[in-house]
Amino acid sequence: MIHREGHIILLITFLSLLIVNTLTLLWTVLAVQILVLIASVVVLGLFLQFFRNPTRNTVVNPGHVICPADGKVVVIEEVEESEYFNDRRIQISVFMSPFNVHVNRNPVSGNVTYDQYHPGKYLVAWHPKASTLNERTTLVIKNDRGVEILFRQIAGAVARRIRYYIHKGDQVEQGQEMGFIKFGSRVDIFIPVGSKINVKLDDNVTGGESVLAELDF
Protein backbone atom coordinates (compact mmCIF):
# COMPACT_ATOMS: atom_id res chain seq x y z
CA MET A 1 0.00 0.00 0.00
CA ILE A 2 1.19 3.51 -0.81
CA HIS A 3 0.76 6.19 1.87
CA ARG A 4 -1.51 9.12 1.02
CA GLU A 5 1.35 11.56 1.57
CA GLY A 6 2.99 10.15 -1.54
CA HIS A 7 0.07 10.24 -3.97
CA ILE A 8 0.69 13.71 -5.45
CA ILE A 9 4.48 13.35 -5.44
CA LEU A 10 4.30 9.99 -7.18
CA LEU A 11 1.86 11.32 -9.77
CA ILE A 12 4.12 14.31 -10.55
CA THR A 13 7.19 12.05 -10.66
CA PHE A 14 5.50 9.56 -13.00
CA LEU A 15 4.28 12.26 -15.39
CA SER A 16 7.68 13.98 -15.40
CA LEU A 17 9.47 10.72 -16.16
CA LEU A 18 6.92 9.92 -18.85
CA ILE A 19 7.60 13.25 -20.57
CA VAL A 20 11.38 12.80 -20.30
CA ASN A 21 11.25 9.30 -21.75
CA THR A 22 8.93 10.38 -24.56
CA LEU A 23 11.29 13.20 -25.56
CA THR A 24 14.23 10.80 -25.32
CA LEU A 25 12.53 8.35 -27.68
CA LEU A 26 11.91 11.15 -30.18
CA TRP A 27 15.28 12.88 -30.11
CA THR A 28 18.05 10.55 -28.99
CA VAL A 29 19.79 7.30 -29.93
CA LEU A 30 18.93 3.88 -28.55
CA ALA A 31 21.76 3.78 -25.99
CA VAL A 32 20.61 7.03 -24.40
CA GLN A 33 16.99 5.85 -24.45
CA ILE A 34 17.93 2.70 -22.52
CA LEU A 35 19.97 4.64 -19.94
CA VAL A 36 17.15 7.13 -19.36
CA LEU A 37 14.61 4.32 -19.06
CA ILE A 38 16.74 2.48 -16.49
CA ALA A 39 17.30 5.67 -14.49
CA SER A 40 13.56 6.40 -14.57
CA VAL A 41 12.69 2.94 -13.27
CA VAL A 42 15.21 3.33 -10.43
CA VAL A 43 13.88 6.78 -9.45
CA LEU A 44 10.27 5.62 -9.51
CA GLY A 45 11.18 2.51 -7.52
CA LEU A 46 12.90 4.61 -4.83
CA PHE A 47 9.85 6.84 -4.46
CA LEU A 48 7.52 3.84 -4.28
CA GLN A 49 9.57 2.17 -1.54
CA PHE A 50 9.83 5.42 0.42
CA PHE A 51 6.06 5.98 0.52
CA ARG A 52 5.13 2.37 1.23
CA ASN A 53 2.74 1.81 4.12
CA PRO A 54 2.86 -1.83 5.24
CA THR A 55 0.34 -3.27 7.65
CA ARG A 56 1.62 -3.48 11.21
CA ASN A 57 0.22 -5.73 13.92
CA THR A 58 0.39 -3.93 17.26
CA VAL A 59 -0.13 -5.97 20.40
CA VAL A 60 -1.88 -3.35 22.53
CA ASN A 61 -0.55 -3.27 26.09
CA PRO A 62 -0.91 -0.31 28.49
CA GLY A 63 2.39 -1.21 30.12
CA HIS A 64 4.37 -1.05 26.89
CA VAL A 65 5.84 1.86 24.95
CA ILE A 66 5.69 0.87 21.29
CA CYS A 67 8.24 2.24 18.85
CA PRO A 68 6.65 5.07 16.81
CA ALA A 69 8.98 4.71 13.80
CA ASP A 70 11.07 2.29 11.78
CA GLY A 71 14.82 2.80 11.97
CA LYS A 72 17.87 2.43 14.19
CA VAL A 73 18.19 3.29 17.88
CA VAL A 74 20.86 6.01 18.08
CA VAL A 75 20.32 7.46 21.58
CA ILE A 76 19.43 5.95 24.96
CA GLU A 77 20.18 8.31 27.83
CA GLU A 78 18.72 10.08 30.83
CA VAL A 79 18.19 13.77 30.07
CA GLU A 80 16.41 16.87 31.33
CA GLU A 81 13.21 17.34 29.29
CA SER A 82 12.59 21.08 29.42
CA GLU A 83 9.64 21.74 27.11
CA TYR A 84 6.84 19.93 28.92
CA PHE A 85 7.92 17.82 31.91
CA ASN A 86 10.77 19.96 33.24
CA ASP A 87 12.31 16.92 34.89
CA ARG A 88 14.51 13.93 34.15
CA ARG A 89 13.37 11.44 31.53
CA ILE A 90 14.89 8.61 29.55
CA GLN A 91 15.27 9.62 25.92
CA ILE A 92 15.25 7.00 23.18
CA SER A 93 15.93 8.29 19.67
CA VAL A 94 15.24 6.38 16.46
CA PHE A 95 16.95 7.51 13.24
CA MET A 96 14.98 6.94 10.03
CA SER A 97 17.03 6.63 6.85
CA PRO A 98 15.44 7.33 3.44
CA PHE A 99 15.09 3.57 3.03
CA ASN A 100 12.92 3.07 6.13
CA VAL A 101 9.13 3.16 6.27
CA HIS A 102 8.29 6.75 7.28
CA VAL A 103 4.85 6.29 8.78
CA ASN A 104 4.80 7.32 12.47
CA ARG A 105 2.61 5.58 15.05
CA ASN A 106 1.31 6.27 18.56
CA PRO A 107 3.59 4.72 21.22
CA VAL A 108 0.71 4.33 23.72
CA SER A 109 -3.07 4.54 23.83
CA GLY A 110 -4.73 7.43 25.64
CA ASN A 111 -5.59 11.10 25.50
CA VAL A 112 -3.42 13.65 23.68
CA THR A 113 -2.61 16.27 26.31
CA TYR A 114 -0.18 18.43 24.31
CA ASP A 115 0.75 19.15 20.71
CA GLN A 116 3.09 21.85 19.52
CA TYR A 117 4.78 22.58 16.20
CA HIS A 118 8.19 24.30 16.33
CA PRO A 119 9.78 25.86 13.24
CA GLY A 120 13.55 25.55 13.29
CA LYS A 121 16.80 24.62 11.60
CA TYR A 122 17.64 21.59 9.47
CA LEU A 123 20.72 20.13 11.12
CA VAL A 124 21.51 16.51 10.29
CA ALA A 125 19.12 14.32 12.27
CA TRP A 126 21.85 12.71 14.42
CA HIS A 127 23.20 16.07 15.58
CA PRO A 128 22.91 16.36 19.42
CA LYS A 129 21.13 19.73 19.09
CA ALA A 130 18.60 18.51 16.50
CA SER A 131 16.06 17.66 19.21
CA THR A 132 15.85 21.28 20.35
CA LEU A 133 16.93 23.36 17.34
CA ASN A 134 15.43 21.64 14.29
CA GLU A 135 11.92 21.93 12.93
CA ARG A 136 9.88 19.52 15.04
CA THR A 137 6.56 18.61 16.58
CA THR A 138 6.15 17.69 20.24
CA LEU A 139 3.26 15.45 21.24
CA VAL A 140 2.23 14.00 24.62
CA ILE A 141 -0.17 11.12 25.22
CA LYS A 142 -1.48 10.22 28.69
CA ASN A 143 -2.41 6.55 29.03
CA ASP A 144 -5.23 5.14 31.16
CA ARG A 145 -2.83 4.75 34.11
CA GLY A 146 -2.09 8.48 34.07
CA VAL A 147 1.44 8.08 32.65
CA GLU A 148 2.41 10.61 29.98
CA ILE A 149 4.72 9.74 27.10
CA LEU A 150 6.27 12.57 25.07
CA PHE A 151 7.61 12.07 21.58
CA ARG A 152 8.98 14.36 18.89
CA GLN A 153 9.05 14.18 15.12
CA ILE A 154 12.27 15.91 14.09
CA ALA A 155 13.16 17.17 10.62
CA GLY A 156 16.71 16.70 9.33
CA ALA A 157 18.91 18.07 6.58
CA VAL A 158 16.73 16.44 3.91
CA ALA A 159 13.41 15.89 5.68
CA ARG A 160 11.57 19.20 5.65
CA ARG A 161 7.98 18.09 5.62
CA ILE A 162 6.58 16.85 8.92
CA ARG A 163 2.96 15.75 9.03
CA TYR A 164 1.04 14.91 12.18
CA TYR A 165 -2.64 14.02 12.45
CA ILE A 166 -3.33 14.05 16.20
CA HIS A 167 -4.03 17.05 18.39
CA LYS A 168 -4.72 17.97 22.01
CA GLY A 169 -7.97 16.40 23.21
CA ASP A 170 -7.90 13.46 20.76
CA GLN A 171 -8.31 9.92 22.04
CA VAL A 172 -5.81 7.68 20.25
CA GLU A 173 -4.86 4.03 20.07
CA GLN A 174 -1.44 2.45 20.47
CA GLY A 175 0.10 1.61 17.10
CA GLN A 176 -2.36 3.78 15.20
CA GLU A 177 -0.89 5.98 12.47
CA MET A 178 -0.30 9.52 13.74
CA GLY A 179 1.99 11.15 11.19
CA PHE A 180 4.64 11.00 8.49
CA ILE A 181 8.09 12.54 7.96
CA LYS A 182 9.20 12.86 4.36
CA PHE A 183 12.71 11.84 3.31
CA GLY A 184 14.48 10.65 6.44
CA SER A 185 14.81 12.05 9.95
CA ARG A 186 14.32 10.92 13.55
CA VAL A 187 11.84 10.48 16.38
CA ASP A 188 12.67 11.06 20.06
CA ILE A 189 10.64 9.34 22.78
CA PHE A 190 10.76 10.44 26.43
CA ILE A 191 9.67 7.92 29.06
CA PRO A 192 9.71 7.93 32.88
CA VAL A 193 12.95 7.18 34.68
CA GLY A 194 12.73 3.68 36.13
CA SER A 195 11.09 2.15 33.06
CA LYS A 196 12.57 -1.09 31.77
CA ILE A 197 14.37 -0.44 28.48
CA ASN A 198 13.96 -3.28 25.98
CA VAL A 199 16.31 -2.01 23.25
CA LYS A 200 19.98 -1.12 22.98
CA LEU A 201 22.02 1.20 20.79
CA ASP A 202 22.15 0.28 17.07
CA ASP A 203 19.12 -2.00 17.33
CA ASN A 204 16.89 -1.94 14.25
CA VAL A 205 13.30 -1.35 15.35
CA THR A 206 9.91 -1.55 13.69
CA GLY A 207 7.24 1.11 14.12
CA GLY A 208 4.03 -0.19 15.65
CA GLU A 209 5.58 -3.49 16.72
CA SER A 210 8.89 -3.18 18.60
CA VAL A 211 8.50 -2.63 22.36
CA LEU A 212 10.94 0.11 23.36
CA ALA A 213 10.22 0.01 27.08
CA GLU A 214 7.98 -1.35 29.82
CA LEU A 215 6.50 1.19 32.21
CA ASP A 216 6.95 0.86 35.96
CA PHE A 217 3.46 1.37 37.39
Structure confidence at residue 102 (pLDDT): 87
Angle, alpha carbons 158-119-107 (nearest 5°): 75
Structure confidence at residue 99 (pLDDT): 85
Mean per-residue pLDDT for 16-29? Answer: 92
pLDDT at 187 over 80: yes
Structure confidence at residue 88 (pLDDT): 97
pLDDT at 1 over 90: no
Q: Are 112 and 141 in contact (CB under 8 A)?
A: yes
Q: Measuring CA to CA, which residue among 95, 100, 103 is closest to residue 127?
A: 95
Structure confidence at residue 177 (pLDDT): 95
Q: 12-21, 158-167, 183-192: which has the highest mean pLDDT?
A: 12-21
Mean per-residue pLDDT for 29-36? Answer: 92
Residue-wise pLDDT tens digits, 40-75: 999 998 888 878 889 999 999 999 999 999 999 999
Residue-wise pLDDT tens digits, 99-155: 898 899 999 999 999 999 988 666 665 555 556 667 889 999 999 999 999 999 988
pLDDT at 185 over 70: yes
Structure confidence at residue 125 (pLDDT): 57
Please tell me the pTM assigned to this model.
0.85
Mean per-residue pLDDT for 3-31? Answer: 90
Catalytic residue among 40, 93, 185, 195: 185
Establish whether 185 is a catalytic residue. Answer: yes
Backbone angles phi, psi at 6, to 5 degrees: -100, -5
Q: How far apart are CA 183 and CA 99, in angstroms?
A: 9
